Amino acid sequence: MLVLLPPSETKHPGGDGAPLDLTALSSPELNPLREQLVQAVLELAGDVPAARSALGLSPAQDDEIARNAALRSSPTMPAIERYTGVLYDALDVRSLSRAQRRRADGRLAVGSALFGLLRADDAVPAYRLSAGSSLPGLPTLRSLWKPVLTDVLTGIDDLVVDLRSGAYADLAPVAGAVTVSVLSERPDGTRAVVSHFNKAHKGRLARLLATTTGEPDSVVRLRALLRRAGLHVEHATDRKAPGTELTLVVPAAAVTR
């Protein structure tokens, strides 16, 4: 099973790993495009006003541009520890036992605008590039990544649980992947889409999937595993990928926790 996570805009700073080595990353077939994008981001960082515009940053965020300028020289850390925010707080990989962390490293991956696909233990520096960013002189990131990244994702034999947000899923959709939506249910039975706290619930879901000793190989077995864990999961049907969409239903009182 592979659990595919979205990245986050914010990153933990620093790290104690050696500087970026693209040849050490997983999915080496992505390296030509990774190299092209890293170089483009480095060159863009040399023009601060242009970088602000391309990356959607304010002057108060110039430290993000400085990070990009140091892409090849700054320290690295495992990708799964680099990203921050609501989802990653809920995932909380640093609290895992050694056995759980080994399972998590084998199952978790992150979709990245700069690196395409990162396995949990791939060592990366802090950077700033979003799926919707436009790098001067280059096509859209979607048009760059879709051909090569789709091939990589299609070649994964395991069940893929795709928890990426829309913009990152659009970089390279995974045919047949299980997707999960989150709904809150009020005491009267009415339901609503969970927005902000959707990330927290997906982070908890990712933690469960990363650490379980089970190894589901189909959406039916995945649903059964989640139900055994006490989650209220319903099996929906997506017109484009029949039978691969699950809905996690949480009590309205639990939405903010």
pLDDT tens for 161-189 read 999 998 999 999 998 899 999 999 888 88
Tens of pLDDT, residue by residue over 116-148, are 999 999 999 999 999 999 999 999 999 999 999
Report the alpha-carbon distance of residue 74 to residue 9 in Å, rounded: 18
Q: Quick one: 60 exposed, middle or buried, by C-beta within 10 A (0-12, 13-18, 19+)? A: exposed
Tens of pLDDT, residue by residue over 29-40, are 999 999 999 999
What are the residue ranges of helices labelled H in the chain?
31-45, 48-55, 62-69, 79-82, 86-91, 98-107, 141-154, 166-169, 198-211, 219-228
Number of domains in the chain: 1
Mean per-residue pLDDT over the chain, rounded: 93
Report the alpha-carbon distance of residue 40 to residue 243 in Å, rounded: 40
Residue showing tokens 């994702």: 153
The whole-number pLDDT of residue 102 equals 97
Report the alpha-carbon distance of residue 51 to residue 57 in Å, rounded: 8
Pick left, alpha or beta for residue 94 (phi over 0 → left; psi -120 to 50 → alpha; otherwise beta). Answer: alpha
Helix (H, G, I), strand (E, B) or coil at 38: helix
Q: Which tokens hold the place of 169?
A: 């899923």
Instruction: Tell me the mean pLDDT in the region 222-251.
Output: 84
Report the alpha-carbon distance of residue 189 to residue 150 in Å, rounded: 39
Helix (H, G, I), strand (E, B) or coil at 73: coil
Q: DSSP string spanning 174-210?
A: -TT-EEEEEEEE-TTS-EEE--TTHHHHHHHHHHHHH
Per the CB < 8 A criterion, the answer to whether 94 and 207 are in contact is no
β-bridge pairing 245-251 and 178-185: parallel
Is residue 238 pLDDT above 60, yes or no?
no
pLDDT band at residue 79 using 50, 70 and 90 as cut-offs: very high
Per the CB < 8 A criterion, the answer to whether 190 and 256 are in contact is no
The whole-number pLDDT of residue 242 equals 53
Residue-number span of the structural domain to which 23 is assigned: 2-254
The whole-number pLDDT of residue 58 equals 96
The whole-number pLDDT of residue 236 equals 67
Output the CA torsion sign for 96, 201, 224, 152.
Answer: negative
Per the CB < 8 A criterion, the answer to whether 157 and 169 are in contact is no
Nearest to 93 by CA among 4, 225, 10, 208: 208
Is residue 257 pLDDT above 70, yes or no?
no
Instruction: Please report, as a single letter, which amino acid is at residue 177.
Output: A
Nearest to 124 by CA among 115, 133, 132, 116: 115
Per the CB < 8 A criterion, the answer to whether 119 and 79 are in contact is yes
pLDDT band at residue 60 using 50, 70 and 90 as cut-offs: very high
Instruction: Tell me the mean pLDDT in the region 68-73.
Output: 97
